[in-house]
Amino acid sequence: MKGPKFSRRLLLGGAGALVGLPLFESLIGEAAYADDSFPARLICYYVPNGMHMAAWTPSQTGSNYQLSPILQPLAPIQDQILVLGGLSNTPAQPDGPGDHAGGTSGFLTSAHANKSETQIQLGISMDQVIANQIGDATRIRSMQIGTDGGGNSGGCDSGYSCAYTRNISWASDTQPLSKTTNPGVVFNQIFEGSDPNASIEEQERRKLYKTSILDYVQEQTQALEQKLGYYDRTKLDEYTTGIFELEQRLEKAGLVCGATQEPSDTGDIVEKVRIMNDLMVLALQCDATRVITFMLGNAGSNRSYPFLGANDGHHNYSHHQGNPSNHAALQAIDTWEVEQLSYLLQRMNEVPEGTGTLLQHSQVFFSSEIEDGDAHRHRNLPVILAGQCHGAYNTGRHIDYEPNKSTNGPPIANLFLSMMAAMGVSQGSFGNSTGPLGQL
């Protein structure tokens, strides 16, 4: 076991199985419950640099379509997914260059980023609209997870702050929600407060102590605010929100799932994605949260994938210039990304909930910041919507919303409206939406 010696959170559970091994058996999900007693849940899954569309788009539409080469890994659960083509995200179009920043910041916001290194201005993301409505039901309102913390230095994209290229969840116009890339942190978030050795009395006392400390810093914050100018007060608001959310969490029931052993970060990307996928399943299954965003890489990631024979960087390949060897490398990377999604979906589908499964009660949105990596287009986005979310979607189809690929199809914000509705969140409009998306 690694980590700080004095952290109580690490003294959980004893010799449980490592995350990734079968560890779900003892958890919730007994078949005794009716399906509708299980909540709707959401994962938004981001991959960088677009897709090699020639190998992504299935050639037929409707329900009897053949999976394309990149989508092959989804064969075991083809009946649980929708492949959506032709959707556009025009607000993500940057001012001049900066498509990765524009596309990533607009990924879930359908908002237009203010091009600046310091004046951050965007919009709330759809996962946060949902979390604002349903987040109070769970201990964690929403989780932000990723694999890459971000390059250690250098610019991010064409005069856009890295805030735009590393975050897809936005609590407000100005506040990105930073993600954790540390499996141990995700684990502790899910299991915090679940110390099986603590008596009720001890747990109550710990809560009192935490509350007292939060009250204390809240008082300090209020006093400090009186002596600060406008921008500094805005900064302090973020801190106050942190206090508020933690206070709320203390009021909620802690232990839902039995804890297992904390996973470690070996630095291996394949291992890390698998662990993060497992932890996301665990978080939803345990109802620690109902809203998760995941970034498999940051905007314009230039990670190389030697284990796929792709030794140059992903972003370099994505500017393929129509070159077949670049296409081959891209297809290998894209297929691997879809494999990771497929693993997640299959794990979710293995979790029984009532007469259904976790996947059937959830929706997983998978896409990228752009369409083709060379053309940097913000239309015909590569989208998979997986899970039926309690019957909201008629899965098992490929739908093309705009066969003319030089035309902007319906706003992806329309899909977001439909996805919100499937979560029970009624919203008149969102971003540049024109109404809920049809045919789903």
Partner 1 sequence: MVRLNYSPLLLVVALVGCDGVIGSGGPGGNDPFSGPGGDVGAIGAQVMHRLNRTEYRNTVRDLLGTQLDPAASFPADDVSLGFDNIAQVLTISPLQFELYEQAAEDLALEMLTTAIRDTIVFCDPNVASCRDDIFRELASRAWRRPTTDAEIVRLQQLVDVALNEGEGVERGLELAVRGILLSPHFIYRPELDDDPSSTESHLLNDYELASRLSYFLWSSMPDDALFDAAANGRLRDDAGLRAEVDRMLSDPKAQSLVDNFAGQWLRIRSLDDHVPDYATFPEWDESLRTSMSQETKLFFGDFLRGDVPMNELLLTDFTYLNDRLAAHYGLPFDLGPELQRVNLEPTDPRFGLLTLGSLLTVTSTPTRTSPVKRGVWILEQLLCSEPPPPPPGVEGLPQDGMSSGTLRDLLEQHRADPTCASCHNLMDPLGLGLEHYDAIGAYRTQDQGFPVDASGELIGGQAFADGREMAALIQEDERFDVCVVEKLFLYALGRQPGSSEYPFLEGIAQSFAQSGAELPELIKLIATSEPFRTRRGTLEESQ
C-alpha distances (whole Å) from 186 to each of 190, 281, 343, 346, 415 are 6, 12, 19, 21, 28
Closer of 127 and 374 to partner 1 (Cβ): 374
Q: Is 193 a binder of partner 1 (CB under 8 A)?
A: no
377: its two tokens:
């287009």
Both tokens assigned to 108: 């879930």
Instruction: Identify whether the C-beta of residue 374 lies closer than 8 Å to the C-beta of residue 413.
Output: no
Q: Which of 90, 180, 264, 346 binds partner 1 (CB under 8 A)?
A: 180
- Near partner 1 in 154-173, by CB under 8 A: 154-156, 158-159, 161-163, 166-167, 171
96 binds partner 1 (CB under 8 A): yes
Which of these, 94, 123, 120, lies nearest to 299 by C-alpha position?
Answer: 94
Q: Is 357 left (phi over 0), alpha (psi -120 to 50) or beta?
A: beta
221 counts as binding partner 1 under rule CB under 8 A: yes
Decide: is 64 part of the binding site for partner 1 (CB under 8 A).
Answer: no
Q: Does 266 bind partner 1 (CB under 8 A)?
A: no
Query: Per CB under 8 A, which of residues 302..331 are in contact with partner 1?
Result: 304, 306, 311-313, 316, 319-321, 323, 325-326
Task: Kindly determine how many residues on this chain lie close enough to bind partner 1 according to the rule CB under 8 A.
Answer: 91
Span near partner 1 by CB under 8 A; candidates 76-84, 117-125, 357-365, 424-432: 117-125
Residues 284, 31: Cα–Cα separation, whole Å = 17
Q: Which stretch binds partner 1 (CB under 8 A): 136-144, 254-262, 393-401, 412-420?
A: 136-144
List the one residue from 36, 136, 173, 238 that touches partner 1 (CB under 8 A). Answer: 238
Crossing angle of the two packed helices 269-285 and 183-191, in degrees rounded to 10: 10
> Should residue 229 be labelled a site residue for partner 1 when binding is judged by CB under 8 A?
yes
Cα angle value 174/177/179 (rounded, 5°) = 150
Nearer to partner 1, 73 or 98 (CB): 98
Counting contacts by CB under 8 A, is residue 149 touching partner 1? yes
CB-wise, 11 or 421, nearer to partner 1? Answer: 11
Nearer to partner 1, 28 or 243 (CB): 243
**DSSP string for 335-390:** HHHHHHHHHHHHHHHHSEETTEETGGGEEEEEEESSSSTTTT-SSS--EEEES-TT
Q: Are 361 and 41 in contact (CB under 8 A)?
A: yes
Residue linked to tokens 């060379």: 374
- Interactions with partner 1, residue window 367-406 (CB under 8 A): 374-376
DSSP 114: P
> Token pair for residue 202?
């001890």
- In the complex, least distance from residue 80 CB atom to partner 1, rounded to whole angstroms: 30
Single out the residue of 18, 34, 79, 209 in contact with partner 1 (rule: CB under 8 A). 209
